[in-house]
Amino acid sequence: MSAEPLLRVHGLCAGYGPVDVLHDVALEVRQGEIVSLIGANGAGKSSTLRCISRILAARSGSLRFAGRDLLAMPAHDVVAAGLAHVPEGRRIFPRLTVLENLEMGAYRRGDAAAIARDLHHVRELFPILRDRERQQGGTLSGGEQQMLAIGRAMMSEPRLLMMDEPSMGIAPILVTRIFDAVKRLRDQGMTILLVEQNARAALRLSDRAYVMETGRITLSGTGAELLQDRRVQEAYLGD
């Protein structure tokens, strides 16, 4: 693991209209880590990811990725720089086939051989997508659509994969498969920033984690440390 963060967020403030929802947010993600951001609904977790991917404008602060200033980039250039965002709710293209959805993830690329390699990788990670390649994306189950959304993001050849609530609304058996896939991706060298309501599962999976409350980071530590923290147990783990 590199000592220099791949992603560094410092003093980030943002909001919607006149309402501020993020207040002086600071976090780091190093190469090869899974870092989780946990907290209650409405805490600002998704807004943080939206700022990092430049969907939501920051009002102040700094965002640096691989030594580059994200605030100077439009969203499409953030993707080209190597940062992919799997949004809450999956947002696949329901009328396109599974294969077409995956191909859309590589829309900025022209390296046919490498695209074919990455498509093979996605098929190995999620075999169900290979079996359903000719189906429209909208006909898949929620869990299969989540696998498709992750696979589509992987097709952009990211250095950092941000996932927003990958277990939301998904059958437990498919949640397990998705978390297994996340771990496999990290073991293969992918860096991951994870927003997840299932705090226990997220902390077990994570190298490090941050707790967000009302738009502020209030706690941080290793996943193991936060699993044992009484405040986290009482607020998020039901212990």
Instruction: Tell me whether residue 106 is in a domain.
Output: no
Determine the pLDDT at residue 170.
84
160-164 and 83-86 beta bridge pairing? parallel
111 in a structural domain: no
Instruction: Identify whether 144 is part of a domain.
Output: no
- Beta-ladder partners of 22: 14
Q: What is the chain's pLDDT, residue by residue, as a tens digit (239 residues)?
A: 446 899 999 999 999 999 999 999 999 999 999 999 999 999 999 999 999 999 999 999 999 999 999 999 988 899 989 999 998 878 899 999 999 999 999 988 889 999 999 999 999 999 999 999 999 999 999 889 999 999 999 999 999 999 999 988 888 888 888 899 999 999 999 999 999 988 999 999 999 999 999 999 999 999 999 999 999 999 988 75
226 close to 203: Cβ distance less than 8 angstroms: yes
Distance CA 86, CA 33 (A): 17
Nearest one of 157, 227, 164, 148 to 196, comparing CA atoms:
164
Contact criterion met (CB below 8 Å) for 198 and 164: no
Q: How many domains does the chain have?
A: 1
Instruction: Specify if 129 maps to a domain.
Output: no
Q: Is residue 182 a part of any domain in this protein?
A: yes
Domain harbouring 53, CATH code: 3.40.50.300
Give domain status of residue 143, yes or no: no
Domain extent for 22: 5-92+158-237
pTM for the whole structure: 0.92
175 occurs within a structural domain: yes
Whether residue 181 is contained in a domain is answered as yes
Closest to 61 measured CA to CA, from 185, 239, 215, 223:
215
